[in-house]
Amino acid sequence: MYMRILIDKYIPFLQGVLDNLAQVCYIEPEQFTPEAVRDADALIVRTRTQCNRLLLDGSRVQFIATATIGTDHIDLDYCRMRNIRVVSCPGCNAQAVCDYVEEALNEVAARQLSIGIVGVGHVGSLVAKMAERRGMRVVLNDPPRGMTGDVTGCDVITFHTPLTRNGTYPTYHLCDGNFLSRCQPDALIINAARGGVVDEQALLDSTQRFVIDTWEGEPNISSKVLDRALLASFHIAGYSVQGKRNASQTCMDALSQHFNLPKLNISSECITAGDSRKGWLKRVSDQLKANPAAFEQLRKQYALR
């Protein structure tokens, strides 16, 4: 009997790869329901699928791959208890997010002599090199890695952490009112990490300027935050053709190893890169500001850079 695999239909390069080895269903994110996953052996998802007790109880799922860096949409403690293997794709789209930050810097003409980078993993390390190339003074802050630079005096502060609520260094509302009160009044805040790392109400109450890609409450975003943002986008900072290729292959490698399958190479699906000309982020921002209710549809239809 073939195993059954459910795949988010918006993950590219997977069509046909597993069809001769398993019963594969390519579905909308909202179609991942308890009924749908009950007889599934594996799920391949994105951030829109909440993988928790509510979804997984009573199912035979033993493997979840998320074609994303973060895992805050997955209840890791529950999965460990159920012996469900969880795989993510750290670093897969790091260059794309770095390019997003640089495009934001290109669009914002104000002073950019220094940059504070909070979270110096795959993305933050690339952002640091990019900023050094631009001649900026770089301050690094990542306490788990022993980096404790004070970023509050910087002209630009950009966040590249996971979203965590517990542990020694929780990141939920890391950028809150207290943090912003210590920053330069006209500093530029960039959040291309996770919604919730930045307290959006605190942003509204502050004097700082900001660029925002990831939001609290997605896809139901705050119209007030959208109006105040210098630039805003629909959670697509990491959306590049190469990043998606990397993530899809990582998912296939992990699934192959877990189920002892032959090497699975992603499809040769041809995807034409989208708009990466000068000013692309401003055009994306104008789209969202003109139609904020279309956040999710814009995200689904976004042509990978």
Q: How many domains does the chain have?
A: 2
> Is the residue at 275 inside a domain?
no
What's residue 1's pLDDT? Answer: 55
> Of 107, 218, 269, 296, which one is the catalytic site residue?
218
In this structure, the answer to whether residues 98 and 220 fall within a common structural domain is yes
> Of 48, 160, 235, 245, which one is the catalytic site residue?
235
Instruction: List the domain range (segments joined by +) for residue 47.
Output: 3-91+241-259
In this structure, the answer to whether residues 112 and 230 fall within a common structural domain is yes
In this structure, the answer to whether residues 22 and 146 fall within a common structural domain is no
In this structure, the answer to whether residues 33 and 140 fall within a common structural domain is no
> Of 4, 194, 209, 245, which one is the catalytic site residue?
194
What's residue 25's pLDDT? Answer: 97
The answer to whether residue 235 is catalytic is: yes
Q: What is the mean pLDDT of the chain?
A: 95
pLDDT tens, 5-58?
A: 999 999 999 999 999 999 999 999 999 999 999 999 999 999 999 999 999 999
In this structure, the answer to whether residues 168 and 211 fall within a common structural domain is yes
> Is the residue at 274 inside a domain?
no
Q: What is the rounded distance in angstroms from the CA atom of residue 296 to the CA atom of residue 3?
A: 31
Please identify every stretch of the chain with a pLDDT value under 50, giving residue numbers as ranges: none
Nearest to 66 by CA among 140, 139, 11, 136: 11
In this structure, the answer to whether residues 100 and 180 fall within a common structural domain is yes
What's residue 253's pLDDT? Answer: 97
What pTM did the predictor assign? 0.89
What's residue 3's pLDDT? Answer: 93
Which residues neighbour 292 within 8 Å (Cβ) at sequence distance 6 or greater? 221, 223, 226
Q: What is the rounded distance in angstroms from the CA atom of residue 182 to the CA atom of residue 260?
A: 53
In this structure, the answer to whether residues 193 and 286 fall within a common structural domain is yes
Cα dist from 57 to 64, 142, 145, whole Å = 14, 36, 36
What's residue 110's pLDDT? Answer: 78
In this structure, the answer to whether residues 197 and 131 fall within a common structural domain is yes
> Is the residue at 270 inside a domain?
no
In this structure, the answer to whether residues 157 and 294 fall within a common structural domain is yes
